[in-house]
Amino acid sequence: MAAATTRAKLPPKTAIYLLIGSGVIVLFVLLGVIPMQKSLLETEHEIEQARFRIEEQGALHPIYEKMLAIAKAGGATAPKLPEKASLGQQGVSGITDTLTGLIVKGGLEAQSVVPDPGSLGQGSKALAVTIHVRGSLDRFREFLAALAVLPSFNNVESVQVKPGSGLWDCTVKVWLTAE
């Protein structure tokens, strides 16, 4: 029975060597392995960023080649805008029909086209027109582009877009040059 209750005691020298060895292992892990692990993670992150940039450049390369071919051919030419001109007396009286035709041609529903004759008062040379249409936003964007090409187009004062029943209700106030 006495043998079961006795414990094996480590000699003091062995315990010191064991503590020193454990300390060296802990220092090795703290000063060597952990910083190396952080460095590896940073390197992996940089590799992922470089891989993404390479894929991005690969995707953009055909566009670059096309632009380079256009530049070598003398460059792209922008469409010429018509010379600016005022509506004149006859143009002012027919502006509603002109804009309604432009709206219908653009695939929109014309709700109203209302010129503001009061905007021509007091020596003003611009006519305000409020246009209310219904349709898709893509068609409305195309309509605005067609409107901007008109020779008498001056500027857009306001644009209001509201969702309607399946289509969008769009109201735009434009200024046209008039005499």
Number of domains in the chain: 2
Write out the residue range of the structural domain in which residue 116 sits. 88-177
Q: Which tokens hold the place of 95? A: 């502006």
Q: Which residue spans within 56-167 are E strands per DSSP?
A: 109-116, 126-135, 153-163
Whether 118 maps to a domain, the answer reads yes
Whether residue 57 is found in the same domain as residue 137: no
- Give the domain CATH number at 147: 3.30.70.60
Q: What is the pLDDT of residues 53-107, one digit of tens each?
A: 999 888 888 888 888 888 888 766 666 777 777 777 777 778 888 888 889 988 8
Whether 169 maps to a domain, the answer reads yes
154: nearest Cα among 78, 100, 87, 79: 87
pTM above 0.85, yes or no: no
Torsion from C-alpha of 145, 147, 153, 155, nearest 10 degrees: -60
Whether residue 62 is found in the same domain as residue 137: no
Q: pLDDT at position 16, please?
A: 92
Whether 3 maps to a domain, the answer reads no
125: nearest Cα among 161, 167, 75, 91: 91
Residues 170 and 138: their CA atoms lie apart, in Å, by 12
Whether residue 72 is found in the same domain as residue 92: no
Return the amino acid letter for 35: P
